[in-house]
Amino acid sequence: MNPLQRRQAEKIVKSQNRLPPGQSLTEKFPVLHYGPVPQYSADLSEWDLRVFGLVEKEVRWTWADIQKLPRHSLTMDIHCVTRWSKFDTQWEGISLKTLVDEGFITPLPEANFIIQHGEHGFTTNLPIEAMYEDNFLLATHFEGKPITADHGYPLRGIVGSFADRSESGTAYFWKGAKWMRALEFRADDQLGFWERNGYHNEADPWQEQRFSGRF
Ligand SMILES: Nc1nc2c(c(=O)[nH]1)N[C@H]1C(S)=C(S)[C@@H](COP(=O)(O)O)O[C@H]1N2
Ligand SMILES: [Mo]
């Protein structure tokens, strides 16, 4: 895509009210994170996903267990706090709402927030209702292929917006942990890694909630 085509594509999404303020369209998929990219063996035998905290029964799913969970596909626009937005990205994975609806996870009534734990101690926090929305996914595939190591293989959280309701309940892309290893259900909120380091806790791209102003 040359610069002219990029501007043209940006104009179109803007006219469709899909480009949040201060953002620009990219065709690329930038890689952003703190720390090293984890390496796993081909069979992922050392990998698991834990669900702990305020749930009726804590679980630990192996990669084989993950394959048996119900799956969803969706197409969303994603918005990075560093000012790029990427449109019509296609993801496949597991919906937290479905896991709860189908009894794979039963949160206790006191649970109000969920912390996503990534590899190497990375965390990000969201209200439980935000993670039940259909624009939040525990994603394993991007554009039909397993997510690459740089982007969070084998499992990451993603949050974005749908073309036909672009402003509803979305957050900047950092609210999805790459290399996710655990979901922690809590009563009280607890700031995640970037949230402690100056990013806004709510992170609504339509409100430009980029930084907290606490620093
Ligand atoms: N584990 C982990 N997940 C992370 C981060 C990180 O540092 N570690 N950074 C977040 C940030 S700030 C962004 S913008 C997105 C970037 O995702 P991408 O590299 O796939 O574009 O991942 C988020 N998830
Ligand atoms: Mo970011």
Reported as a pLDDT band with limits 50, 70 and 90, residue 1 is: confident
Reported as a pLDDT band with limits 50, 70 and 90, residue 34 is: very high
How far apart are alpha carbons 55 and 78 in whole angstroms? 30
pLDDT of 175: 98
Give me ligand 2 centre to Cα 81, in Å: 5
The pLDDT tens digits of the residues spanning 134-148 come to 999 999 999 999 999
Reported as a pLDDT band with limits 50, 70 and 90, residue 153 is: very high
Q: Which ligand is nearest to the CA of 124?
A: 1
Reported as a pLDDT band with limits 50, 70 and 90, residue 215 is: low
The answer on pLDDT for 113 being more than 90 is yes
How far apart are alpha carbons 95 and 136 in whole angstroms? 7
**Which whole number is the average pLDDT over 18-34?**
96
Say yes or no: CB of residue 199 within 6 Å of ligand 1.
Answer: no
Other beta carbons within 10 Å of 141? 15
Q: What's the angle, vertex CA 200, arms to CA 154 and CA 134, rounded to 5?
A: 50
Q: What is the DSSP string of 134-147?
A: TTEEEEEEETTEEP
pLDDT of 115: 98
What's the start-to-end Cα distance of the chain, in Å? 38
Give me ligand 2 centre to Cα 55, in Å: 29
Reported as a pLDDT band with limits 50, 70 and 90, residue 214 is: low
Say yes or no: CB of residue 149 within 6 Å of ligand 1.
Answer: no
Say yes or no: CB of residue 32 within 6 Å of ligand 1.
Answer: yes
126: closest CA among 81, 78, 185, 53? 185
Other beta carbons within 10 Å of 119? 18
Cβ proximity of 56 and 166 under 8 Å: no
How far apart are alpha carbons 90 and 82 in whole angstroms? 21
**Which whole number is the average pLDDT over 22-45?**
96
The pLDDT tens digits of the residues spanning 168-211 come to 999 999 999 999 999 999 999 999 999 999 999 999 999 999 99
Domains of the chain with bracketed CATH: 47-207 (3.90.420.10)
Cα distances (angstroms) measured from residue 163 to each of 86, 89, 158, 211: 12, 11, 16, 25
89: closest CA among 186, 160, 22, 188? 160
Ligand 1 atom 9 nearest Cα: 33
